[in-house]
């Protein structure tokens, strides 16, 4: 399911590896914008993104050693942290696999925040714990403020593990650590690819009972693959779960959070220690220190916030009321989230100190599979 020709480094003139097709050199890098929303400071760009992270979607083609098989022990649908962890484990056990994902690249920024000590204990057995530890800060203290007054500041997140505390690392960073590791085992992610359908043969004597169809969403090409096992790590809209008719029920709320990864300038006394700032009137913020001086700020947005936002929008744009004067929560901008955060932080102030690394509006909800098995299958 490759989308380009193999990218071969020119080894001419180098001793010993001129004809070695297994010799690997990282392809040229590319620039990548990390957020769809921006503040008035500018646009955040990752300027060193090796295209090997993009797997089969690399503009330079696939490595010459990559040769996907039509029959594998395990087919993994979804190349987030869960699917990649399965692949990393299988690679060390000599189990053949293929791993595919609908996205054209690993996550550039945002989403999940950190990992617990037990996670590090697991990947330490794979030799990867140090790569995670090097990425972000270690959270071992918490500060809580309410209405401008300190309620709590002390040690927290302690563990008997050698990996004490909560280790901050983005989901994308974890994905890239796994992808680099898979490249060492001569495996890459098949990008822009989805599991369009699958069948399971009920004959117990069949060595490869699963017949799956992989579709490249970019080229439209399809390929049939046989596997012994099928792993579904493809998220809330899982094709595998739907194929088994397993419900994914949940509850939803009217509580929204504005999430911003950025460098902030503030007179807040514990800037920037993990914790929360609470306002009796306006809600709360959660502070998570990130790598390179960045901070993730969760700012509570609820229905009561629409009034102050409408007033500020009308002040900036006299036509706001004429066009209906209603606030759609998903139209809220980073500057408006910052306004709400300042109401919560009062009497302290904060402002952007750099372009946004990531921005999202997240609705509080919880979905859960009621069973891991469909009794009819």
Set out the domains of the chain in order of their start, with CATH numbers.
Answer: 29-113+170-243 (3.50.50.60), 251-366 (3.30.9.10)
Q: Is the predicted pLDDT of residue 242 greater than 90, yes or no?
A: no
Contacts of 257 (CB under 8 A, 6+ apart): 298, 299, 300, 301, 361, 362, 363, 364
Do you find a cis peptide bond into 160, omega within 30 degrees of 0?
Answer: no
Band (pLDDT 50/70/90 cuts) for residue 373 is low
Average predicted confidence (pLDDT) for the chain: 85
Predicted pLDDT of residue 11 = 47
Least reliable range by pLDDT among 148-152, 279-283, 298-302, 364-368? 364-368
Q: Is the predicted pLDDT of residue 9 greater than 70, yes or no?
A: no
For residue range 215-238, list pLDDT tens digits in order: 999 999 999 999 999 999 988 778
CA dihedral in degrees (272, 278, 279, 285; nearest 10)? Answer: 60
Predicted pLDDT of residue 176 = 94
Q: Is the predicted pLDDT of residue 15 greater than 80, yes or no?
A: no
Band (pLDDT 50/70/90 cuts) for residue 60 is confident
Both tokens of 118, joined, read 């037990």
The partner residues of 365 in beta bridges, in order of sequence, read 252
Buried b (16+ CB within 10 A) or exposed e, 48-65: ebbbbbbbbbbebbbbee
The Cα angle at residue 125 between residues 294 and 173, in degrees rounded to 5: 25
Q: Could you give the count of Cα atoms lying within 13 Å of 198 in the half-sphere of its Cβ?
A: 27
Q: Is the predicted pLDDT of residue 214 greater than 80, yes or no?
A: yes
Report the SS3 class of residue 246: coil
- pTM assigned to the model: 0.84
Band (pLDDT 50/70/90 cuts) for residue 292 is confident
CA gap 75, 283 in Å, rounded: 45
- As a whole number, mean pLDDT of residues 198-223 equals 91
């Amino acid at each position: 399911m490759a989308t380009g020709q193999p990218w071969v480094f020119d080894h001419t003139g180098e001793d010993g590896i001129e004809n070695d097709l297994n010799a690997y050199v990282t392809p040229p890098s590319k620039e990548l914008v990390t957020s769809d929303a921006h503040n008035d400071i500018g646009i955040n760009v990752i300027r060193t993104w090796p295209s090997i992270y993009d797997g089969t979607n690399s503009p330079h083609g696939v490595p010459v050693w990559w040769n996907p098989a039509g029959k594998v022990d395990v087919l993994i649908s979804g190349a987030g942290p869960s699917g990649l962890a399965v692949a990393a484990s299988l690679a060390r056990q000599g189990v053949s696999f293929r791993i595919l994902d609908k996205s054209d690249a690993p996550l550039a920024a945002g989403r999940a925040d950190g990992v617990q000590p037990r996670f590090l204990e697991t990947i330490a057995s794979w030799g990867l714990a140090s790569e995670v530890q090097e990425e972000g800060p270690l959270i071992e203290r918490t500060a809580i403020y309410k209405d401008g007054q300190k309620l709590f500041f002390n040690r927290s997140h302690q563990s008997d593990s050698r990996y004490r505390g909560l280790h901050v690392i983005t989901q994308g960073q974890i994905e890239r650590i796994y992808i680099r590791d898979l490249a060492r085992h001569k495996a890459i992610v098949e990008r822009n690819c989805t599991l369009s359908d699958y069948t399971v043969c009920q004959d117990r004597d069949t060595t490869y009972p699963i017949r799956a169809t992989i579709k490249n969403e970019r080229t439209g090409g399809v390929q049939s693959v046989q596997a012994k096992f099928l792993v579904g790590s493809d998220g809330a809209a899982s094709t595998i779960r739907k194929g088994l008719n397993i419900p994914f029920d949940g509850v939803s709320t009217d509580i929204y959070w504005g999430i911003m990864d950025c460098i902030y300038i503030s007179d807040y006394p514990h800037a920037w220690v993990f914790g929360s700032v609470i306002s009796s009137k306006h809600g709360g913020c959660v502070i998570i220190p990130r790598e390179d001086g960045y901070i993730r700020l969760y700012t509570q947005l609820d229905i009561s916030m629409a009034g102050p936002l409408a007033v500020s929008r009308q002040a900036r744009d006299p036509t706001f009321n004429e066009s209906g004067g209603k606030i759609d929560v998903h139209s809220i901008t980073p500057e408006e989230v910052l306004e709400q955060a300042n109401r919560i932080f009062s009497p302290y102030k904060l402002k952007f100190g750099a372009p946004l690394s990531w921005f999202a509006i997240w609705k509080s909800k919880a979905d859960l599979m009621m069973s891991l098995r469909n009794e009819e299958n």
